Amino acid sequence: MKKRKRVVILGSINVDIILQLARLPKPGETMKLQGFETAGGGKGANQAIAAARSSADVHFIGRVGADQYGKQMLSLLQENDVNSEHVKIDADKPTGQAYILLQQSGENSILVNSGANAFIQKEDVENARQLIEGADVVVAQFEVPIPRIIEAFEIARQAGVSTILNPAPALKVPDELLELTDLITPNEVEAEMLTDIHVDSKTAQRRAAEKLKAKGAKNVLLTLGSEGAYYLTEADQEESVAAFKVEVADTTGAGDTFIGCLAAKLAPDFTNIAQAVRYATKASSLTVQKIGAIPSIPTEKEILAK
């Protein structure tokens, strides 16, 4: 029997409050909602569940509050075969929340209350040291404190474990963290913030990727929304991968689905990056056709059937 890839996610756990509206309101304008619902979310939880639904053995490091939302999210992780042994219940802080303004066009704007996600401690990472050392890959995003990511990536690097950094939401990345990153995966906005290069052409994409590599990241993968993805590897292998053309209902969670599925399928030495990126691209094209983050994440069977 083929061994399942062990993916460790250090990340955020939120409850998404989805507000459906025709368009964003103008300053001073009052609008009626077209719909309202709640769903599981948080970039970390989304990516973990995406990886688990693509047959990875997924373990989570994070925090939730001692509230109803926290109970719901722990149950949701467990129902999706994500090991939550290293998710601590914080008695003082609420579970993270994200308010998603979903427009009729499928575009979204998101307001985040970090809650317990912002209070992950060094001891949380240290307590998971053996877990990290036994992983195939460690994945992190910027909805948790950057010092915790550095600590986790240091443990991974010392153990020869691959690291994937999803620098979202857009923040400057310390060089210390880039030097511990085997693969960085910014989108267009994040890439421009990190490199001051507007990645609107393949030439610009390569320049941005080269700049990130010069700062320490070994491999670079730019996610470009409807334009697909571009990657440049440590061995100077590059490729632009086209997106699938589909009808978009909601882009929430598309990037997280991509990252989670990529982590589940990418070999530790990145030799199958072309196949893994295509698999992740197909997965995210399925996600955008449904509303909600976690509810829209496809299974491996659904991805391979397309």
110 and 98 Cβ atoms separated by less than 8 Å: yes
Residues of each annotated binding site for ATP: 187, 223-228, 255-256
Residues of each annotated binding site: 14-16, 42-46, 143, 187, 223-228, 250, 252, 255-256, 287, 290, 292, 296
Report how far residue 5's alpha carbon sits from residue 54's, in angstroms, rounded to the nearest whole number: 10
Residues of each annotated binding site for K(+): 250, 252, 287, 290, 292, 296
Residues of each annotated binding site for substrate: 14-16, 42-46, 143, 256
Query: Does residue 90 have an active-site annotation?
Result: no
In the block, residue with structure tokens 């939550």: 84
User: For residue 284, which amino acid is it?
Assistant: S
Catalytic residue among 57, 67, 124, 256: 256
Residues that are catalytic: 256
